[in-house]
Every structure is written in C-alpha cells, then in structure tokens.
Amino acid sequence: MLDRKDRKLLLGIARRVIEARLDGRKMEFPADPELAGVSGRNGAFVTLHKNGALRGCIGNFVSEMPLYQLVAEMAEAAAFGDPRFPPVIREEMEDIDIEISVLSPLTPCRDVEEITVGVHGIYIISGFYRGVLLPQVATEYGWDRETFLDQTCIKAGMQPGCWKKSDTEILIFSAEIFGEMSEGLL
C-alpha cells in the first residue's frame, strides 16, 4: 500500500510528464529521497478521464524500472499514444483527471469463481488475442462476473464466451487504484 504522500507524488509525476511533453520540454523528477516509497518494480496502468469519459489508458503488467518511472512512461503513452484517441492537447488538461492503478503480480485463474468483481482485473490470452480490463471497469459498469469475462473477451477482439474455451488462458490481478479526483487534488 502506498501512503497518501506517495500517491500524490505519483499523480504529480504523471501530470507533469504530460505537461512537459505539451510544452516541448523534458520531465524533471523530484530528488531521489522523495522517490524512495515509489521505487518498487510493480506493474501499473495510467488512465486519463476527460469530464468523466475515458480519454486514454496504457500500462504494463511487469516492469524492471522503478514505479515512478513506469508511471511517467505510461502517463505519456496514455496521453499521446493510445491508438483509440487523438493525442491530448494543452486546452484539455484542465478537464483531465489522472488515475493510476498499481498492480499485483498476475496469477493464473483455475476457476472463474476465484474472480471477485471490483477486486480482480482480468487478462485473457488466446493465441494472438489478448485483452485486459482493470478491476474498476466492472464496478463502473455494474457488471457481474460473466459479463466482466465476456467484455474482456470483446476487448481482446474475440467473441463473448471465449473464456470458456480450453485454449483460453485467464490471469487475474488486483490493483491499488487512486486518482487526482479521489485524492482531492482536483
């Protein structure tokens, strides 16, 4: 668990890296002692919302770099590299809320009954197809377990129900989720 100071630090890094790119300058990280609590090697996703609607989301399940550096890279990728959206522009920044999901390691799911909606995220793999939905997505949409699994299949480019096939691998994870809005920073 990250404390409030570390959450605020990561959210600040995410915002500053996007603003630095918009200004055509390089991101400057805080001093090393401030980064001690956010130097673990967790996976993380950065999600951008604009007026409550998804505006970008990119992440990695694993990382060899410190968490603060991964958050910086994923924030920049979510703002400028999510293929579902055009790059963020300066005029949007006041309407954007940044959310970070710090991930637990992936765990193979042997029985879908292990999946707890609102606690677990799902990563589905079948051949070339891969899809992930973070734990908060099912809660936001009010999905039950089967709908969550079906929607993860759809996100992977497969048909609903693909999760029932023997050649489909289901991995689960949990996440510590926090954002500028929930932390009272906006």
| Domain assignment present for 123 | yes
Q: How many domains does the chain have?
A: 2
Q: Which of 103, 131, 156 is the last residue of a domain?
A: 103
Written as tens digits, the pLDDT of the chain (186 aa) is 888 999 999 999 999 999 999 999 988 777 776 777 888 888 999 999 999 899 999 999 888 899 999 999 999 999 999 999 999 999 999 999 999 999 999 999 999 999 999 999 999 999 999 999 999 999 999 999 999 999 999 999 999 999 999 999 999 999 999 999 877 775
Question: Do 89 and 131 belong together in one domain?
Answer: no
Q: Give the residues across from 100 on adjacent strands.
A: 46, 178
| Domain assignment present for 179 | no
Q: Residue 30: its pLDDT value, please?
A: 73
The range of the structural domain enclosing residue 35 comes to 4-103
Question: Do 136 and 49 belong together in one domain?
Answer: no
**Cα–Cα distance measured from residue 56 to residue 77, given in angstroms and rounded to the nearest whole number:** 8
pLDDT tens-digit readout, 124-147: 999 999 999 999 999 999 999 999
Element (H, E) at 122: strand 120-126
Q: Which of 78, 103, 128 is the last residue of a domain?
A: 103
- Cite the DSSP H helix spans in the chain: 4-22, 67-80, 135-141, 145-155
Give the CATH number, domain containing residue 36. 3.30.700.20
Q: Which of 103, 118, 150 is the last residue of a domain?
A: 103
**Cα–Cα distance measured from residue 63 to residue 42, given in angstroms and rounded to the nearest whole number:** 6
Give the CATH number, domain containing residue 139. 3.30.1490.150
Calculate the average pLDDT of the chain: 92
Question: Do 11 and 31 belong together in one domain?
Answer: yes
User: Is 45 exposed, middle or buried, given 0-12, 13-18 or 19+ CB atoms closer than 10 A?
Assistant: buried
Q: What's the length of the chain?
A: 186
| Domain assignment present for 22 | yes
CB 121 within 8 A of CB 173: yes
Question: Do 83 and 120 belong together in one domain?
Answer: no
